[in-house]
Structure 1
Amino acid sequence: MGKRVTLKDIATAAGVTTATVSYVLNDTPGQKIAPETRERVLKAARELSYVPNSAARTLRARRSQCVGVVAKKNLAVPRFSQTIRGIQSRLEDIGYNLLLCTNKVKKGGLSDYLIAYLEGRVDGIIFLGKDNVGPSAESVEVIERERVPFVAYDCVERASAYSTVDFDYRGGARLLAERVLAPAPRRLLYIAPDIDAPQERQRVEGLSDALKNSPETELIELTVPITLDNLDTWDLRYSIGATPEGDELTASFARALREAVGGLERGDAVIASWSGWTEPIRYRCRERGIVTAELANNGESNFYPDLCVRLPNFDAGVACADELLSLIDGKPSSARLLHLTNVLDGTRGAYGEDIY
């Protein structure tokens, strides 16, 4: 490997001082450099294939220009890959890099992402926790003590030591349910996972808010066999495809849906808590005049339910990046709530034509 090109090499080639080279390459404000001198320095740097020493820049700026992202998620799932892309897109706009970190506890009882921050490898952390659970109490203590710029995404918790970005699940559920209930269906089937989480409770609250104005509609609740214990098996379908365990779970899920829908009649409606859940029953329902709807659609299918709330996952990633950059700049922590107002009509195509 050849000798690394230095500022001195560029200065010699351009016939200027190393200070002038530094001013030009770092675009230092307040320095008057003649245009022809600037071009000579830049040309010499190009010809010598100069690569800046990022470590030296970090020491001077006391910034790594890198953000750590803890993603305890299956990134093959569209929702999470869309969020990460939003984070990456925003960071790229301002010259930041993204480093995927883990939540694994390492030396000194510190999590991997906290070690990355304390060692100066990242300027802050965006946290997408497993099962939407935030950082541990031990980690929060370090975050607060060391003033770590930290953003927790979709953990639905109050915090003073760091910023949060969450969705208004209750408002989104209420908005969608109001659309579904407008024709006054006699029965409404609500499909939810067997998971007790703040997000699920908020969705039920939004549904209840809408049902208060529709006393003539009977609510039927179906809990499908999707739990925290088998959630990884469910999500593996997006990354490695079919597995015996996944096939068994999918079959059990579809069977439960078909049995529940079997008792519905024309004019009734179905709302599913998660994206893609009405797929096993969608066409059967449409043939029978039953409306299908989903509370958390991510656009991963070309065939949509009749109505759905599209989660702004990319925008959520951008919001996480913006919140973290604000903390890195020394601004106070905040709680951002993203409202779910984008209700899509899946029975109509992109230009409004019927597709069924």
Structure 2
Amino acid sequence: MSRPTLKDIARRAGVSISTVSYALNDKSTLPLAEATKNRIRTIAHELGYVPNGLARSLQARSNRTIGVLLNKPLTTPRYAEIAQGLSVGLARRGFHLALLDGESADRCIDDARGGLLDGLVFIGHDDLEVPHELAVDIAGHGIPFVALDCGPARAPHVWSSVDFDYAEGVRLLVQSLVLDGVTQIVHLRPDVTSRADRTRVDTLEALARQNAIEVMAISTGITDETLARLDREPRRSLEYTTELIGRLDAALDQVTQTSTTAIVCSWGVDAEPAYFWTMQNAPHMRVAALAGGSLDPRLWPRLTYSRLPLAAAGEACAGLIIDASTSRDSPTRVLLTPTLDSGAADPLAALD
């Protein structure tokens, strides 16, 4: 059975095809008798008419689809949560998400210019800026665009952006540790060229001086090169975890650990091996991370996360990119604050 068309509705209603089109278009401003409009819509419903979405997209040069450029594995929880937030935010407003390879910028630009994509969202990570060629094309062609976790644009007011307030996340965590009487921090941190980690280190050291806290830095052994290798070969993560525990053993072997000592991890993924080490060697020590990890603080005592609002960041990007694609409002920068997630002193109490 063939799909009903505007011509079929017009024949049944005894009107022209253009009149049917006007009656079915909610945005039409052409004066049309309400009785005529209702009769045409009733016939369309009886015939099972469904608008041709592709034809409408081509006519309006809109496909109600946003392209999301990501050059990190979606298997990483951080990016999966952001993508989920984007998907939910777009769907809430009737848009779709197209996940694109972050290296395919040229093709994405062509799709946006041709109307297959209504805008682009670039998901960065820490120190990664919007690639120069992509930035030039976005500005040159006036393509609706939003950048996530890339820091302020070099040329302000070019596109909207969403970022995390990494410094505030450190402040929240240190304040919590100070209230718990912590006087010594073992800072477990990577050796990467990361804007986020530079901010975290600088803020942590400044707050430690203000609060008379001793800081001992331990490298996780992660560099930009080893991080890229782990992205390509996630099975090596077990090797990394084993090596990290060994680094903690070697560094803390000669250090007196007390209940006023806390291990603070820059990355949430390091909290689990750090917690495992404390359980084996110093169960009285606190473990904290400047990003969310896999352990649930409600079930593990003396564990605290400063969680990045990843899903909220995705939803914020969704709102900004739809605004940019529909109303061309002035670009906006959204700065999201992490939240503190702290475990109970007695994990069994959380189950009561």
* Aligned counterparts of 1:148 and 1:67: Cα–Cα separation in 2: 11
Contact 1:104 1:112 in 2 (8 A): no
TM-score (ref. length: structure 1)? 0.84
Higher relative helix content: 2
Give the secondary-structure state (helix, strand or coil) at the position aligned to 1:226. Answer: strand
Shift of 1:43: 4.9
1:220 paired to 2:216? yes
Aligned to 1:80: 79
Shift of 1:14: 4.5
Percent identity between the aligned chains? 29
Q: Which of 279, 289, 293 is matched with 2:284 structurally? A: 289
Q: Which of 232, 256, 266 is matched with 2:258 structurally? A: 266
Q: Aligned letter for 2:322?
A: L
* Aligned counterparts of 2:46 and 2:127: Cα–Cα separation in 1: 50
Contact 2:169 2:337 in 1 (8 A): yes
Q: Which of 282, 296, 302 is matched with 1:302 structurally? A: 296
Shift of 1:54: 2.5
Across the aligned residues of Structure 1 and Structure 2, the Cα RMSD in angstroms comes to 2.9
Give the secondary-structure state (helix, strand or coil) at the position aligned to 1:229. Answer: helix
Decide whether aligned partners of structure 1 residues 96 and 130 sit closer, same or farther in structure 2, where only a CA change above 3 A counts. same
Contact 2:166 2:200 in 1 (8 A): yes
Q: Aligned letter for 1:266?
A: T
* Aligned counterparts of 1:323 and 1:100: Cα–Cα separation in 2: 17
In the TM superposition, 1:60-209 aligns within 5 A as 60-104=59-103, 111-129=106-124, 132-159=127-154, 160=156, 161-209=158-206
Give the secondary-structure state (helix, strand or coil) at the position aligned to 2:291. Answer: strand
TM-score (ref. length: structure 2)? 0.85
* Aligned counterparts of 1:156 and 1:337: Cα–Cα separation in 2: 10
Q: Aligned letter for 2:83?
A: I
Aligned to 2:335: 337
Q: Aligned letter for 1:314?
A: A
Decide whether aligned partners of structure 1 residues 353 and 24 sit closer, same or farther in structure 2, where only a CA change above 3 A counts. farther
Unaligned runs of 5+ in 2: none
* Aligned counterparts of 1:157 and 1:191: Cα–Cα separation in 2: 27
Deviates more, 1:277-286 or 1:182-191: 277-286
Shift of 1:48: 4.1
Shift of 1:7: 1.0
Unaligned runs of 5+ in 1: none
* Aligned counterparts of 2:296 and 2:231: Cα–Cα separation in 1: 19
Shift of 1:28: 3.3
Q: Aligned letter for 1:281?
A: A
Shift of 1:198: 0.6
Shift of 1:315: 0.7
Give the secondary-structure state (helix, strand or coil) at the position aligned to 1:296. Answer: coil
Contact 1:101 1:112 in 2 (8 A): no
* Aligned counterparts of 1:325 and 1:207: Cα–Cα separation in 2: 37
Deviations 1:101-131 (A, max 9, x none): 23335xxxx6222122122211211001366
Contact 1:307 1:345 in 2 (8 A): yes
Contact 1:69 1:128 in 2 (8 A): yes
Deviates more, 1:43-52 or 1:190-199: 43-52
Shift of 1:256: 1.7
* Aligned counterparts of 2:103 and 2:337: Cα–Cα separation in 1: 32
Contact 1:276 1:301 in 2 (8 A): no
Shift of 1:82: 1.3
